[in-house]
A and B are shown apart, each in its own frame.
Chain A
């Protein structure tokens, strides 16, 4: 069979080349151009650039609005990912246990992940509606006063975090469940014969087996939440009084509403570096490279 693999090196590269060209022009080149922009200042309504070195970055660190958005992004990401993974893990373990109706339960639980983000944002805004929303109605049945969920500086961000959890926990469930199903049942049977209880089996067998998947899953969800835009934009617009403004929204506003390309580019690079640094450190401490996922 050697004949067929003659010149396989060059040939293989040709198959992948079109993909690389696209990746270069649509992802790599814009990234480099963005770095270039972040060292320049652009004036309102003109795209003339003047070199300002690191000033855009220097300004960021002293910009309280930017620091506020950064802090909100950390809060938003932490709580979103924490509950996405937790709920996804619990749902996956429950689904793994049942045999009857598994498929229909899985499909129904996964629906939020399928629904377009903006449709989800619109639906939740309607659920949170202060006068006609069903959440406030249920609260009134329990004897609470109506709450202006998306208009209260203390509640707006948590209210949208709930939507973000709702949208992505099914993804966590999907990935964890697939890994759980790949664990041979003989391992569990052996543990049961040896007299292990459910908690012991979970801590000593299940958890170590799904550690790799949980690690990658957490990283992906963190990156996605860090880059989020749609829910905040469509549900609170960052308000009230910037209490729910996150970096994704701020960059969009500086770029396309205020036309401050240089400043927005610096903010975007800041976001990118944070994500990159987090990913590297995170993988270094959690991911077992030799064992793989």
Chain B
């Protein structure tokens, strides 16, 4: 029998934490519970918490709207953005962590400041450039836009991780005859896998939920992402709340699952990148 020792000062913390958990979780719980309630119970006063279960809203959403298409579009755009940004960030983060060169500090600061640029400043010029290149309402246009945000961020997070790995690791590989780039790919990448996954998850999340550019740069169901689909549901006159909550649930579940699976790596990479950065 293992006894858990809890100090009195700890016990006091629990009721307050329960209040925080309720505040955080209730809106999400209510979203999911409204998505699986029959319409008659969604619009009932008083609201019912535990009710009969139905998939009618999911069925409607999947078979009578373009939601599946939006979901796939989001998946394609977010996945490609993540893969490309990691392939830029891997050498980029490594270069910033390992070498000294002219302008290195200026470049580091520029990368950090790029995260402060208001999206609104980029909205008009990117719209005009994409229009000029014929890339409005295409996957490529959206992916290019997201890369501008994802690449500096992932580079910065990986830089923090590489800085914490001893140099001797790749030097040993180089003595054995690897080039530096080979040493990076064959020796450092396996070691850095948890950080690479965590960074990838974050960049996926950012691309998955992005709203302003997806709204501005896409116009057809062929390219529109899931957030824009949800927005068109709530923009209708006489909103079908069951369908809105079902599509919101559909958009939330994949990243909640991703977050829970990679929770440990995600938290440690993210906080180290932010705090030690």
Contact = CB atoms under 8 A, between A and B. Distances in A.
Contacts of A74: none
Contacts of B205: 114
A169 B111 CA distance: 25
Interface string B232-249: 011000000100110011
Contact of B89 (A19, A29, A95, A112): A19
B245 A98 contact: no
Given A23-B114, A31-B122, A119-B252, A15 B92 contact: yes
A247 interface: yes
Contacts of B222: none
A139 to B, nearest CB: 12
Contact of B211 (A166, A178, A230): A230
B274 A175 contact: yes
A216 B256 CA distance: 27
A176 to B, nearest CB: 10
A98 B98 CA distance: 39
A134 B30 contact: yes
Contact of B128 (A47, A127, A233): A47
A9 B147 CA distance: 26
Interface in B41-55: 42-47
A198 B244 CA distance: 47
Contacts, number: 286
B197 to A, nearest CB: 16
Nearest to A181: B271
Contacts of A87: 20
A12 interface: yes
Interface string A9-42: 1111111101110110111011101100100000
Given A15-B94, A26-B147, A97-B10, A114 B34 contact: no
Contacts of B174: 4
A117 B270 CA distance: 20
11 contacts: A12-B95, A15-B92, A16-B92, A99-B4, A107-B260, A108-B24, A112-B24, A132-B43, A132-B45, A229-B119, A252-B216
Interface of A: 1, 4, 8-16, 18-20, 22-23, 25-27, 29-31, 33-34, 37, 47, 87, 90-91, 94-95, 97-100, 103, 105, 107-112, 114-127, 129, 132, 134, 137, 166, 170, 174-175, 178-179, 182, 198, 213, 216, 223, 226-227, 229-230, 233-234, 247-248, 251-252, 255-256, 261, 264-265, 267-269, 271-272, 275-276, 279, 293
Interface of B: 4, 6, 9-10, 13-14, 16-17, 20-21, 23-25, 27-28, 30-31, 34, 42-47, 88-89, 91-92, 94-96, 98-102, 104, 107, 110-111, 114, 116-129, 144-145, 147-148, 151-152, 155, 171, 174, 180, 205, 208-209, 211-212, 215-216, 226-227, 230-231, 233-234, 241, 244-245, 248-249, 251-252, 255-256, 259-260, 263, 267, 270-272, 274-276
Which 4 pairs between the two chains have the least Cβ-Cβ distance? A12-B99, A15-B95, A26-B148, A178-B271
